[in-house]
Amino acid sequence: MPNHLKKALFSIAAIVSFVSTILLTVALGSTRWVTASILCKTGADIVNATDPEMVKFMGQLYYGLFQGRKIRHCGLGGRCSKITIFPQLVKTLNAAVHILVIFFICLAITFSVVSFGFCIYNAVKIPYQAIKGPMGIYLWTSIASLCGLFATVCFISAVRLHRHTERIANFHEHVFKFIILQEYFDTSFWLCVASAVVHVANMLVVSISGVHFPKLKTKTEEANVTPEDLMY
């Protein structure tokens, strides 16, 4: 029974690793890392807009690691434009930090796939080398979790310290200037965070598989035959 239980636990760990890989892949390619409300300050200053009129100059901006959308309102209705990070927009951003985010996510995806393969291997076979067993799963899962954590920290640094949102909002804006009214981390960012949490849960599942479960043993008592018994 313990062997069957271990197989079931390693199968669950494989599913968890696969889910983490999917979360990171979706986060990498999606466009909802940050959503922000922007104000066309130049347009509002030209007409001396009051508080009720400010709505006509408020737009929206959302972007991911590769692309996004900007809806600008400068008093003449909304205009939607596509945001493409590479190859031009990245020059106005802190390119090193932005590329680090992508690099760490790709590493996290890679090690998640490796962890998935090791979980499948342990569910099917009993490894002879420690690195192929639970210790290997701990190692690859920990690296994947740390890479996801580093990616989120780098992205927070890019948004908060290097003002990526403001730079994106004012990219190729020669006449109007936009300011950020409100910004928050959106779904894709939290998918990356969830992936790191899922990896921690995966390590807990693997640790349970290392618990030594009691085996049921049947003791057979050998009959002691003495010479006196043979006489009767």
- Domain membership flag for residue 219: no
- Domain membership flag for residue 228: no
User: How far apart are alpha carbons 81 and 232 in whole angstroms?
Assistant: 106
Cβ partners under 8 Å of residue 141, min gap 6 = 17, 111, 112, 115, 199, 202, 203, 206
How do residues 33-60 score in pLDDT, each as one tens digit? Answer: 999 999 988 888 888 877 777 888 899 9
- Domain membership flag for residue 62: yes
What's the mean pLDDT in 223-229?
51
- Domain membership flag for residue 221: no
- Domain membership flag for residue 15: yes
How do residues 145-170 score in pLDDT, each as one tens digit? Answer: 999 999 999 999 999 999 999 999 99
Domain of residue 43 covers: 3-209
Question: Is there a contact between 191 and 46 (Cβ–Cβ < 8 Å)?
Answer: no
Residue corresponding to tokens 């998935």: 116
Report the domain count for the chain.
Answer: 1
- Domain membership flag for residue 147: yes
What predicted TM-score, i.e. pTM, was given to this entire model? Answer: 0.82
**126/24: higher pLDDT:** 24
- Domain membership flag for residue 12: yes
76: domain CATH number is 1.20.140.150
Q: Looking at the predicted structure, is the pLDDT value of residue 230 above 80?
A: no
- Domain membership flag for residue 139: yes
